[in-house]
Amino acid sequence: MSDPPQCCICLEEFARPASLPCGHRFCLSCIGEYWRIHGACRCPLCKAFFPTRPPLNAAQTHGAGAPTEEEEEEAPPLKAGEVPCDLCPAKRRAVKSCLACLASYCAAHLEPHYQREDLGRHLLINVVKNLEDPACGLHGKQLQKFCRSDRTCICAMCAQTEHRGHHIVSIHREATKMKVKLKWRKTKLQQAIQERLSEVEKTELSAGLVGTGPSEERAPSKELIARLEEEISELRSRSAALDQISRGEDDLRFLQTFLHTSSWTDAFDLK
């Protein structure tokens, strides 16, 4: 009982604890990330569902929250491969990149994306470099081509040098192909959602959950329905993310976004 309270998501001492309307507390970043991944505002403990995103006013804890001026000055130097936060004067290490803001944030400056409903709809991914760079980092030329061999956007000079002999197409052609692929994935997701909704309805009818069946018979069915609802929530979240990816302002921006999330979007392929 003398041990400090822990967040049940990260199993560590609370960092910026945020209380939900149901009374349970979690680290602000933990519950924010949980809601972002699952696509629904639900308590991980009691499964209470919140139709609208409740405000997450996190309590200040030692060493947490926005960095002070002293902490900014004491920020450790970045290691090789690490990306700096776009908002920190001292360039603290970024932990996530936002494809809507086209910026990377440290843990402290990422908090608004977990607190505000509008920012909560933004797509966060693992940190990437040069998120909005429209020019070739090697030659300084405009990116106009796509190398399918190396899956990267290149300039005309790259096509004649480093990528000579590779399978190279125009940015527009590759973006068109990827948009068709994402549209197909979204269709498969919608089919999967409808299949699970039908399964929920059949389970409710067969188990008498809409009436008054024996509680011992209804318990396993309730567990199945809860699992199906979790899957539906996750699938809807993925579908919304695909919508956001496909709304690129131009072909180059779309391709760069797709490449940054390629391993993540591959998980959308449904058997």
160 and 137 Cβ atoms separated by less than 8 Å: no
Higher-pLDDT residue of 97 and 216 is 97
φ, ψ of residue 18 to 5 degrees: the values are -120, 130
Going by the DSSP 8-state scheme, the letter that residue 65 receives in this structure is: S
Task: Evaluate if residue 1 carries a pLDDT over 50.
Answer: no
Task: Evaluate if residue 265 carries a pLDDT over 60.
Answer: no
pLDDT given at position 163: 93
The number of CA neighbours under 13 Å toward the Cβ of 188 is: 15
Residue 262 confidence class, pLDDT cut points 50, 70, 90: low
Q: Give CA–CA dist 147/163, Å, rounded.
A: 7
Taking residues 153-162, report their average pLDDT: 90
Rg for the chain, CA atoms, rounded: 23
SS3 27: strand
- The set of residues, in sequence order, having a beta carbon less than 8 Å from that of 97 and lying 6+ positions away, is 83, 103, 104, 105, 124, 125, 126, 127, 128, 131, 260
Task: Evaluate if residue 23 carries a pLDDT over 80.
Answer: yes
The CA angle 66-67-72, to the nearest 5 degrees, is 155
Tokens of 237: 């979240």
| Global model pTM greater than 0.75 | no
Residue 271 confidence class, pLDDT cut points 50, 70, 90: very low
Tokens of 91: 């360039």
User: What share of the chain has pLDDT > 90, as a percent?
Assistant: 13
Q: Give CA–CA dist 14/19, Å, rounded.
A: 11
